[in-house]
Chain A
Amino acid sequence: MTRPQPEFDLAKARADFPILNQTINRHPLVYLDNAASTHKPRAVIDSIRKVYEEDYSNVHRGVHTLSQRCTDLYEFAREKVQAFLNARHSHEIIFVRGTTEAINLVAQSYGRKNVGPGDEILITAMEHHSNIVPWQMLCEQTGALLKVVPISRTGELLMEDFNRLLSDRTRLVSVTHMSNALGTINPVEQIITLTHARGVPVLLDGAQSAPHMTVDVQALNCDFYAFSGHKLYGPSGIGVLYGKESLLKAMPPWQGGGDMIRRVTFEGTEYNDLPYKFEAGTPNIADTIALGTAIDYVNAIGVNAIAEHEHYLLTYATEQALTIPELTIIGNAPHKGAILSFTLDRIHPHDIGTLLDQLGIAIRAGHHCAMPVMDFFEVPATARASFGLYNSFEEVDVLMDGIRQVIKMFG
Chain B
Amino acid sequence: MLDQIRDLYQEVVFDHNRNPRNFRIMEDANRKIEGFNPLCGDRITLYVKVIDGKIEDVSFQGAGCAISTASASLMTEIVRGKTEQEAEDLFELFHRITTGKNGDEINLEDLGKLAVLAGVRAYPARVKCATLAWHSLQSALKNEDATVSTE
A contact residues vs B (CB 8 Å cutoff): 25, 346-351, 354-355, 358-359, 365-367, 371, 374, 380-381, 405-406, 409-411
- Pairs across A and B, CB under 8 Å, 28 listed: A348-B65, A348-B66, A349-B40, A349-B65, A350-B40, A350-B42, A351-B9, A351-B65, A351-B67, A354-B5, A354-B123, A354-B126, A355-B5, A355-B9, A358-B4, A358-B5, A359-B1, A365-B40, A366-B41, A374-B41, A380-B63, A381-B40, A405-B1, A406-B2, A409-B2, A409-B9, A410-B66, A411-B14
Flag if A350 contacts B65 (CB, 8 Å).
yes
A411–B64 Cα distance when bound, in Å, is 18
Shortest CB distance A352–B (Å): 9
Shortest CB distance B67–A (Å): 7
Given A349-B40, A350-B40: 17 more A-B contacts, CB < 8 Å: A25-B4, A348-B65, A348-B69, A350-B42, A350-B67, A354-B5, A354-B125, A355-B9, A358-B1, A359-B1, A365-B40, A374-B41, A380-B41, A380-B42, A381-B41, A410-B14, A410-B66
Flag if B9 contacts A348 (CB, 8 Å).
no
Known contacts A348-B66, A410-B14, A411-B14; is-contact A367 B2 (Cβ 8 Å):
no
Chain B residues contacting A354 (CB-CB under 8 Å) are 5, 8, 123, 125-126
Flag if B43 contacts A380 (CB, 8 Å).
yes
A371–B9 Cα distance when bound, in Å, is 27
B contact residues vs A (CB 8 Å cutoff): 1-2, 4-5, 8-9, 14, 18, 39-43, 63-67, 69, 123, 125-126, 129
A359–B40 Cα distance when bound, in Å, is 21
A387–B66 Cα distance when bound, in Å, is 27
Measured CB to CB, the nearest residue on chain B to A353 is: B125
Measured CB to CB, the nearest residue on chain B to A411 is: B14
Shortest CB distance A63–B (Å): 49
Flag if A405 contacts B2 (CB, 8 Å).
yes
Measured CB to CB, the nearest residue on chain B to A408 is: B2
| Main SS class of interface, B | mixed
A380–B64 Cα distance when bound, in Å, is 8
Flag if A371 contacts B1 (CB, 8 Å).
no
Chain B residues contacting A350 (CB-CB under 8 Å) are 40, 42, 65, 67, 126, 129
A405–B3 Cα distance when bound, in Å, is 11
Measured CB to CB, the nearest residue on chain B to A352 is: B65
Chain B residues contacting A371 (CB-CB under 8 Å) are 41
Chain B residues contacting A366 (CB-CB under 8 Å) are 39-41
Measured CB to CB, the nearest residue on chain A to B65 is: A348
Shortest CB distance B8–A (Å): 8
Q: Which 3 A-B residue pairings sit nearest by Cβ, starting from the closest? A: A348-B65, A350-B65, A380-B41
Chain A residues contacting B66 (CB-CB under 8 Å) are 347-348, 351, 410
Flag if A367 contacts B5 (CB, 8 Å).
no
A358–B126 Cα distance when bound, in Å, is 14
A348–B63 Cα distance when bound, in Å, is 9
Known contacts A380-B41, A380-B42; is-contact A359 B126 (Cβ 8 Å):
no
A405–B18 Cα distance when bound, in Å, is 18
Shortest CB distance B19–A (Å): 12
Flag if A348 contacts B2 (CB, 8 Å).
no
Contact of A355 among B2, B42, B125 (CB under 8 A): B2
Measured CB to CB, the nearest residue on chain B to A366 is: B40
Flag if B40 contacts A380 (CB, 8 Å).
yes
A366–B42 Cα distance when bound, in Å, is 10
Chain B residues contacting A351 (CB-CB under 8 Å) are 9, 65-67
A381–B69 Cα distance when bound, in Å, is 15
Measured CB to CB, the nearest residue on chain A to B123 is: A354
Chain A residues contacting B14 (CB-CB under 8 Å) are 410-411
Chain A residues contacting B42 (CB-CB under 8 Å) are 350, 380
A351–B71 Cα distance when bound, in Å, is 14
Shortest CB distance A408–B (Å): 8
Contact of A348 among B8, B64, B123 (CB under 8 A): B64
